[in-house]
Structure 1
Amino acid sequence: MPPPTTVELLWGTAARPKRGPKPALTLDGIVAAAIALVDAEGLSALSMQRLAERLGFTKMSLYRYVPGKEQLTALMLDAAIGEPPVFDAVPGDWRSGLRTWIDAIFARYRAHPWAIELTLGIRPFGPNEMGWTEAALTALDGTGLTGPERLDTIVLLNGHARSLAQVFASVAGDAQLQFTDQFAAMMTAAGDRYPAVSAAFAQEAAAVSAGSAEPGVAFAYGVERILDGLAVLIADRADR
């Protein structure tokens, strides 16, 4: 019997042996252990050997359930992003639906920043990831946007969420303090050469000190501007 493909594993259509001893592991358990490992140590720490050691089995034992790392990471991504949020698809309330959608996916990316890397490139989608796409497209029903425009809207919002999640993951904690010190040194060295930059970052520093420049604020600002632009397009379509 050939090993299951990525699509078969993601969609649960892989053939299962009808005979033999009761499996000592489960595919869901393997995926959960892999996610826990990568959440703690990053995607670079993942290998079939390392995962097998974590589970207390041999690497060959894992191959009975998943053929390799490519299939494993696809399963990890779909499990990590989980099911999409449930919201009422009320006609004309597309903005509320999309806001709920993007807030939820941003939270998933922040909880599992390694998942962002796995979303790049041409690859099979699992049922959870497909469900997120279905939910966003449904939220845009009745807006007058074409199918390609609705798909591009998803790409635009998702790109905003992914990019900010990556930024916040890279500047958390000590890294943020280090950058602040470095930036102050740069501005001192630059003198009066960049007055607009200096003024903007001075205001940003004041907002940070006041506690009003949290990551969620920057994220929400971008989301609202995207939705504002989309509202103009939808209104224009309605007037035609």
Structure 2
Amino acid sequence: MAANEDPKAVAELLWGLRKAPSRGPRPAFDVTQIADAAVKVADAEGLEAVSMQRVAAELGFTKMALYRYVNDKAELIAVMIEAAVGAAPDLSGIAGWRAKLEEYARELSAAWRHHPWLPSITAGDRVMGPRETAWPESALSALADTPLTERERLDAIMLVSNHIRATHAAAIPGTQTWTSGEAAPIMRDLLLLNADRFPLLATTHATPSATTTQEFGLHAILDGLEHAITQRTPKG
């Protein structure tokens, strides 16, 4: 949750519970247009470029005018997330819980690749809008017919989602620099030059992988879920 975020106010904004002002000039824009403008800035220049003043300028009005729609930057970020997440995946036409979760993971990963700032900003305790809430609802539907408890199903979804988040974060400069990014070639050379000190990393780096880190981890998580589900499924 952002430092100055008012959870109740954010909920009213995202879920359409906020009353429109009864007086004043007719609104020239709506919250959706504001969110789309902010998302465009974040996609092009990064989240740090997003501010109330910048978004107002993108829409051609003053920063003070923007406060008629969103109370502060915390609310601006909230509507940005709701706009950027996109529609939740429809898993109803896919057979089997595992295939459904694999598709959910693929679509979540694609959404975060399209908006690289989303993984970090959607972590933590905060109010989600109906569009974003539809994502875990869709994922939970994949496990509806399994013998896992309701809480375990939610925990399973969190495992999958957090894995996708973690493997996106691994590409951020400064974390696991031997795997990807601009520092990867430098780290590769350093590891090879210092193979006597770091023999396992040097060998691993020199060996090509048939799968990505994200794929390997997802398969491992789903294998564990499959074992738990199989153990609880009545025989015969």
Which one of 80, 84, 88 corresponds to residue 84 of structure 1? 88
Counterpart for residue 165 of structure 2 = 162
* Counterpart residue number, 1:128: 131
Deviations 1:180-207 (A, max 9, x none): 123312431x242332222211113xx5
Task: Identify the residue that residue 9 of structure 1 maps to in structure 2.
Answer: 13
Q: State whether residues 191 and 202 of structure 2, in contact with CA within 8 Å, keep that contact through their aligned partners in structure 1.
A: no
**Distance between the aligned counterparts of 2:190 and 2:220, measured in 1?**
33
Matches within 5 A, 1:1-240: 5-18=9-22, 20-88=24-92, 93-170=96-173, 176-188=181-193, 190-204=194-208, 217-239=212-234
Q: 1:48 to 1:177 in 2, by over 3 A?
A: closer
Secondary structure of residue in 2 paired with 1:5 = helix
Amino acid at match of 2:225: L
Identity %: 39
Q: Distance in 2 between matches of 1:8 and 1:102?
A: 29
Question: Which AA in structure 2 matches 1:163?
Answer: A
Distance 1:22 1:191 in 2: 68
Q: CA deviation at 1:115?
A: 1.3
Q: TM-score scaled by structure 1? A: 0.85
The alpha-carbon deviation at position 18 of structure 1 amounts to 4.7
Amino acid at match of 2:171: F
Structure 2 counterpart SS, 1:86: coil
Bigger shift: residues 9-18 or 154-163 = 9-18
- How many residue pairs get aligned? The number is 224
Unpaired segments ≥5 residues, structure 2: 1-7
- Residue 89 of structure 1 contacts residue 139 of structure 1 at CA under 8 Å; is this kept in 2? no
- Matches of 2:100 and 2:191, distance apart in 1: 43
CA distance in 2, matches of 1:30, 1:12: 15
Unaligned runs of 5+ in 1: none
Tell me the secondary structure at the aligned position of residue 23 of structure 1.
coil
Q: Give the TM-score taking structure 2 as reference length.
A: 0.86
> Is the 8 Å Cα contact of residues 11 and 127 (structure 1) preserved in structure 2?
yes
Larger helix fraction of residues: 1
Q: CA separation of 1:15/1:154 partners in 2, compared to 1, >3 Å: closer, same or farther?
A: same
CA distance in 2, matches of 1:26, 1:239: 54
